[in-house]
Amino acid sequence: MKKVEFDIPVITNHPITPSIKEGAMAHVRPFVAKQGHQEALGFPGELVDDWHDKAIEKMRELLGKYRSLQVFMDSCVKCGACTDKCHYFLGTSDPKNMPVARQDLMRKVYRRYFTFAGKYFPKLVGAVDLTKEVLEDWYSYYHQCSECRRCSVYCPYGIDTAEVTMAGREILASVGVGQKYSNEIIGKVYKIGNNLGLPEKALANTLEDLEEEVKDDIDVDVRFPLDVKGADVLLVTPSADFFAEPHVDGLIGYAKVFHQAGVSWTLSSHASEAANFGLFIGSQDNMQKVAMRVREAALELGVKRIIVGECGHAWRVAYSYWNTLIGPFDFLDPKYPVPQHICESTYDLIQQGALKFNKEENDDKIVTFHDSCNVSRASRMGNMPGGQFVIPREIIKAACNHFVDMREDTIKEGTFCCGGGGGLLTDDLVELRVKGASPRVQALHEVIEQHGVTHMAAICAICKSQFTKVLPYYDMQMDMIISVHQLVGDALELGVER
């Protein structure tokens, strides 16, 4: 690990709310997108001359388009319930990382330009002009929010800071100040088809290599099909699943499940990416353009079902937005009229008795589960309330003998973000990522101490990458984080009668 140039939060046996340190994270901001990365997404290449008027006009447009934004701007009563709920405040002590303060960055400007009191008595209502300094503050602190929605769970008015952050980023990009990491990645999807810029031939070779690897390992011909016309299922998964660790073990797990259940499936080189960073930058246009590849691939291949792999925000986009963005899905099998999550599919097969497990294969592990924000607070699974919490846990318990949950207020709808979500999984934000992970690491530390937990399973590509990077900063092993479908794949009995 490189020399660490910032303080790493001390992990204690109990959660601690930190004292405030003004400006503690004012120096942190991601790299600004270059001209090419901006223009490829339909944004101006650099800060436009009339940025002030354009930004206010964009805010007016968003207030009209998203009624929720107008309500959020008007309804905060400063009760303080959200102040200690953000992992970035808990990890950094910077008061501008309190959700209410993050909203106020925009609210103060909103009041100045869109309310009577703010126009005529700005000081009385805390209204401010939109200046370059304010714009700088927006850029910094709207990129210190992972859009995880934890704060909204505790707000009596349901104010969703994630939506304010998305609006802030959308306004910034529209005047020429986009974020390099997210915009560059979206550009790669347009140009090559996936976030990693993996061309079709390299993808085909990678999948062939995986077939050989599994054959060598367990002597079974498990297939990783690509572009198979007439397959029943199109699997759309994050491109990290093709080779990053521990993601790829999850992909091997999905393939073993499909093999054992006799499901005819395929991946697509046209839609070789489930992730959709259009959500992170708050741009519905870009979100739609990225998502459209999935519809095109499904129609081209003539599949009957679409299944989404282990990716938190991809599932949110699929569950909550696909129908509007790329629906209707009237060409799918009426039994599966909407996209499914891979966990729903595996859980159904377990319920039907189509999968058998040798749980002892995972007896070297005591497993806990990290609920991913976008799955927990922005989507569901199955046809039961809270299915997104029940289904992954039931899958883990079907494949493992030893499972324990972390502290109740840190799981399910109260789960802490990994610290790298929302377009922040970039090395230029490593200080934020390490500090923001500390509330999750603290809860993990508790179950390690109390129950000897050895592994934390997840169903999100970003969570897996983030923990692989940040756990070593806390003297924890990077390979503690594993894919849920790795547990499944390792314990699944292949070849037994279904």
Report the interface residues with ligand SF4, using CB under 6 A.
Answer: 76-82, 85-86, 88, 99-100, 102, 145-151, 155, 157, 159, 161-162, 165, 417
Pairing of strands 367-369, 340-341: unpaired
Give the burial class of 55: count Cβ atoms within 10 A of its Cβ; 0-12 exposed, 13-18 middle, 19 or more buried.
buried
Nearest approach, Cβ of 407 to ligand SF4 (angstroms)? 17
Nearer to ligand SF4, 82 or 441 (CB): 82
Nearer to ligand SF4, 345 or 415 (CB): 415
Tokens 């006799």 belong to residue: 262
Nearest approach, Cβ of 315 to ligand SF4 (angstroms)? 17
46 close to 38: Cβ distance less than 8 angstroms: yes
Q: What are the C-alpha distances in Å from 242 to residues 78, 250, 265? A: 46, 9, 16
224 close to 272: Cβ distance less than 8 angstroms: no
110 close to 122: Cβ distance less than 8 angstroms: no
* Length of the chain in terms of residues written: 498
Nearer to ligand SF4, 77 or 117 (CB): 77
Nearest approach, Cβ of 181 to ligand SF4 (angstroms)? 16
Nearer to ligand SF4, 297 or 424 (CB): 424
- Phi/psi region, residue 340 (left: phi>0; alpha: psi -120 to 50; beta: rest), is beta
Separation CA 312–CA 391 (nearest Å): 14
Nearer to ligand SF4, 41 or 155 (CB): 155
Nearer to ligand SF4, 99 or 246 (CB): 99
Q: Before 246, cis peptide (omega within 30)?
A: yes
Q: What is the largest CA-CA distance in the chain?
A: 77
Q: What are the C-alpha distances in Å from 188 to residues 43, 196, 251, 321, 325? A: 16, 7, 22, 22, 20
Selection from 167, 436, 193, 196 nearest residue 279 by Cα? 167
Nearest approach, Cβ of 312 to ligand SF4 (angstroms)? 13
Nearest approach, Cβ of 285 to ligand SF4 (angstroms)? 23
Nearest approach, Cβ of 419 to ligand SF4 (angstroms)? 9
Nearest approach, Cβ of 149 to ligand SF4 (angstroms)? 5
For residue 284, the SS3 value is helix
Nearest approach, Cβ of 373 to ligand SF4 (angstroms)? 7
What are the structure tokens assigned to 205, written together? 């070779």
Nearer to ligand SF4, 63 or 342 (CB): 63
Nearest approach, Cβ of 418 to ligand SF4 (angstroms)? 11
Nearer to ligand SF4, 135 or 159 (CB): 159
> Cα angle at 237 between 188 and 453, to 5 degrees?
115
Nearest approach, Cβ of 155 to ligand SF4 (angstroms)? 3
DSSP secondary structure of 203-240? HHHHHHHHHHHHHHHHS------BS-TT-SEEEE--GG
Nearer to ligand SF4, 73 or 366 (CB): 73
Nearer to ligand SF4, 101 or 395 (CB): 101
Selection from 306, 335, 284, 307 nearest residue 459 by Cα? 307
User: What element of type H or E holds 316?
Assistant: helix 312-316
Nearer to ligand SF4, 27 or 78 (CB): 78
Nearest approach, Cβ of 31 to ligand SF4 (angstroms)? 20
